[in-house]
Structure 1
């Protein structure tokens, strides 16, 4: 397979402004089909995509297209599981924006189906593919920071835009829609399973869901993680992530491509991670590299780093956080079953 032939489902902003421009730049990818119920969005997407992809207003027609080998699902969250299941049943490899599904049971079903069919099922946790977080992962794994006891993240931004994201029945809520990216980073970098967590959350502004949150996580392997988020002030947008060990500490900007490192001997480093020469990477860092990883998995028959289990684990944490808010106490994170 010299080139992986893609069909994209859902032509909202993220598909048009992130996935299509990224795939246009990858030699091993070709967009051959696009699908959207919106004729206007479909037309806009076709203008961005290279070549002349076939256009479908019914995604089921795209799934019947014999030239499509892999699909990218960019539809609202509550539709992901249904479309992913139909795509796998049609014999297509699947790249699905997170979350893969809104229930743990659906994650189990989709994982089994992908395994039975011998298909790649990857979930869009792009941050773990970003070069700065690959570097941080190596630093943690190789002991450069010593014994890491704490991971942290703070998020300052305005409320979600109106639409399906602001409808909890469709998005799964703000923890699933936004914070699952950072919960996944905690899980990946810690190398362990979250055992229990505590969440305090409320609504400060006129929003559909929690807009002031703090989440405290304990891992079976020892580290702890703390996430603090606000979604009520549109005047600021800042997302930072860090790790603290007994030999060093790291602070990384999610949005900017830099990372600061401080060592116990007083040394300081400012590391920068520009995109590869000639590559424009829209969206958050990692969007380009996650597609390279997906293509490699399809061609070489590898399991993706971020698959059904990783999505299920982030969802299990989100569900546990909701239970913690209701109970006011620490709760166990359920085994996702994948």
Structure 2
């Protein structure tokens, strides 16, 4: 987690065309996750939201947020204050399901950090609570509103790439020896921790695979059991998807990628952040000409699209773009590939 300053949290988001008719009161239930800082900044910069406060028990994080001038509130207030409409769960992964269920059961819309649980039983409980309470449940997969990823998925859905036969994705990073125990809390290791970001677009495009095979290796010389070098293969009736994810690569971000191969061409997103999208077609299709071409993309900032969609769906009483059934399938695939 990078150092916190008031300036960090006031980083500007794109202005809305018109000011919102009303502010949506939002609170954070837990703020120890590595994505919490970025999401707090995005929420504070979005004029649709009003930050009611942050619930965090860890003294270290409480001190950091207090020093940044952010309001700290109790868990009871976050869950029982009727003025608070949305809860963002950014607690530790082992607490995600419990905190998400508590917020939904209290009648709040919920943005739940990924993964939602480390088992299907708790996942079902959270999803059923969202259905029963008729509340929005948005999972925090950070590339759902990525402009390059959505354009390549759209090209695949529209048939512009032809018949899809192969998808490849890489999501590597580098962590320190001190971080490894935390990442080793779950048997899926790196596949569970970060591979999930690639399972998300693949399962939304192709659905649930017929077969899942994975190799979860401990390759680093750290005298622990962290699965730090992992590969998953998803088999579909007419396609294969291969995901690789490891925590051993220096300067990993430029090599993170998603590639979709079809009988009329390919779409390659590399790097994913800041995005560079290239499409190469045998025959022109949709808005794309034949041959190799780079696609102009707007700048991408994590989480902005997620919270913009959440605000819009709340005020307009509309469903989210990703259904609860899609969330369920994604979690099934993630847990199976992670041997969990």
8 Å CA contact 2:188, 2:339 repeated in 1: no
Match of 2:43 in 1: 23
* Alpha-carbon distance change, 7 to 163 in structure 1, aligned in 2, over 3 angstroms: farther
Matched, 1:14 2:30: no
Counterpart selection for 1:67 from 79, 83, 86: 83
Tell me whether 115-124 or 38-47 shows the greater mean CA deviation: 38-47
Match of 2:157 in 1: 141
- For residues 44 and 99 of structure 1, the distance between their equivalents in structure 2, rounded to whole angstroms, comes to 25
Matches within 5 A, 1:175-254: 175-190=191-206, 192-205=207-220, 206=222, 207-220=224-237, 222-237=238-253, 238-252=255-269, 253-254=271-272
Matched, 1:298 2:322: no
Tell me whether 177-186 or 34-43 shows the greater mean CA deviation: 34-43
SS of the equivalent of 2:101 reads: helix
* Alpha-carbon distance change, 155 to 39 in structure 1, aligned in 2, over 3 angstroms: closer
Q: Which deviations, in whole Å up to 9, do the C-alpha atoms of 1:283-324 show, x marking residues without a partner?
A: xx4x11011111122223333234544443233223322449
SS of the equivalent of 2:306 reads: helix
* Alpha-carbon distance change, 164 to 115 in structure 1, aligned in 2, over 3 angstroms: farther
* Alpha-carbon distance change, 201 to 172 in structure 1, aligned in 2, over 3 angstroms: closer
* Alpha-carbon distance change, 17 to 167 in structure 1, aligned in 2, over 3 angstroms: same
- For residues 46 and 261 of structure 2, the distance between their equivalents in structure 1, rounded to whole angstroms, comes to 36
- For residues 173 and 254 of structure 1, the distance between their equivalents in structure 2, rounded to whole angstroms, comes to 22
- For residues 302 and 244 of structure 1, the distance between their equivalents in structure 2, rounded to whole angstroms, comes to 33
Q: Which deviations, in whole Å up to 9, do the C-alpha atoms of 1:268-296 show, x marking residues without a partner?
A: 211232338xxxx3xxx4x1101111112
Q: Which deviations, in whole Å up to 9, do the C-alpha atoms of 1:183-221 show, x marking residues without a partner?
A: 11111122x32121111221111254212222111125x
User: 5+ residue gaps in structure 1?
Assistant: 325-338
Q: Which deviations, in whole Å up to 9, do the C-alpha atoms of 1:149-169 show, x marking residues without a partner?
A: 111112333237627742424
Match of 2:5 in 1: none
Q: CA deviation at 1:15?
A: 5.0
TM-score, structure 1 normalization? 0.83
Question: Which one has more relative contact order, counting CA pairs under 8 Å at least 6 apart?
Answer: 1
- For residues 117 and 151 of structure 1, the distance between their equivalents in structure 2, rounded to whole angstroms, comes to 37
SS of the equivalent of 2:118 reads: coil
Match of 1:117 in 2: 133
Matched residues, number: 309
RMSD over aligned CA atoms reads 2.5
* Alpha-carbon distance change, 312 to 71 in structure 1, aligned in 2, over 3 angstroms: same
* Alpha-carbon distance change, 303 to 46 in structure 1, aligned in 2, over 3 angstroms: farther
SS of the equivalent of 1:109 reads: helix
Q: CA deviation at 1:13?
A: 6.0
- For residues 254 and 167 of structure 1, the distance between their equivalents in structure 2, rounded to whole angstroms, comes to 26
8 Å CA contact 2:31, 2:61 repeated in 1: yes
Matches within 5 A, 1:125-164: 125-159=141-175, 162=179
- For residues 199 and 111 of structure 2, the distance between their equivalents in structure 1, rounded to whole angstroms, comes to 20
Q: Which deviations, in whole Å up to 9, do the C-alpha atoms of 1:228-282 show, x marking residues without a partner?
A: 2232233544211110111110110222222011111552211232338xxxx3x
Tell me whether 122-131 or 60-69 shows the greater mean CA deviation: 60-69
- For residues 153 and 105 of structure 1, the distance between their equivalents in structure 2, rounded to whole angstroms, comes to 28
* Alpha-carbon distance change, 78 to 210 in structure 1, aligned in 2, over 3 angstroms: same
- For residues 339 and 193 of structure 2, the distance between their equivalents in structure 1, rounded to whole angstroms, comes to 17
Match of 1:261 in 2: 279
8 Å CA contact 2:309, 2:320 repeated in 1: yes
8 Å CA contact 2:274, 2:299 repeated in 1: no
